[in-house]
Amino acid sequence: MCGNNMSVPLLAEAVTVSGTERETAAVIFLHGLGDTGHSWADALSSVRIPYVKYICPHAPKIPVTLNMRMVMPSWFDLIGLSPDAPEDEAGIKKATENIKAIIEHEIKNGIPAHRIILGGFSQGGALSLYTALTCQHKLAGVIALSCWLPLHKTFPQAASNSANKDTPILQCHGDADIMIPVRFGALTHEKLKTIVSPMKLQFKTYPSMSHGSCPQEMAAVKEFIEKTLPRI
């Protein structure tokens, strides 16, 4: 099995938290700018579900325009953080293909798409939303923490072939986030209503939470995973 990881570069290095019993589901979770998969592997371990495998890949290291071209882990280049800032369209689409390759690898290895949740935090959450909404595989759900929808002006058209128009999405945001203000999260939520069945969307905000996570949010994440990936 290790042999075919090589064809999926992000998977070879990814931090994986294995289930404590037979794995029948997977959560692929993407970290934020400048981070690695380790911090979210640790956070998800705290809300572990025995039959779920957690896969936390590391973003490649690239120069980031927003941070004076410093080289750091980043899923794609970031030019600005406002809804009108120019975006790295080619980089976003390339990153999306790399995440779809992880999903396809899991499907080949026996975990069907409808037993896979894609999620992420900040830039990783943005990539998970874009990937799910342009993906031909029907996923179990999407977890979008403190993030935005990339290339939002291309939607709903960009989602025309998506299999995830009625896939549950849990969106969480801190009220005190100065990096990605909660207003951007709210705008993203409104945009998602034009793409995905509004009944399937949850937007939870957390008072005094900055650009990070909190125990209440992790409890909501666990509840969402249990609901969308029930034991079989």
Q: Which of 58, 105, 114, 211 is catalytic?
A: 211
Q: Do 92 and 130 form a contact (C-beta atoms < 8 A)?
A: yes
* Catalytic residue status for 84: no
Maximum Cα interatomic distance, the chain, rounded to a whole number of Å: 49
Q: Which of 173, 177, 189, 213 is catalytic?
A: 177
Q: Which among 208, 151, 198, 138 has a CA at the least distance from the CA of 171?
A: 198
* Catalytic residue status for 189: no
Long-range contacts of 161-165 (CB under 8 A, 24+ apart): 161/134, 161/136, 162/132, 162/133, 162/134, 162/135, 162/136, 162/195, 163/113, 163/135, 163/136, 163/137, 163/138, 163/139, 164/132, 164/133, 164/135, 164/138, 164/139, 164/196, 165/195, 165/196, 165/197
Q: Which among 21, 29, 47 has a CA at the least distance from the CA of 232?
A: 21
* Catalytic residue status for 177: yes
What is the separation of C-alpha 57 from the centre of its chain, rounded to a whole number of angstroms? 11
Q: Which of 31, 35, 74, 122 is catalytic?
A: 122
SS3 73: strand
The residues annotated as belonging to the active site are 122, 177, 211
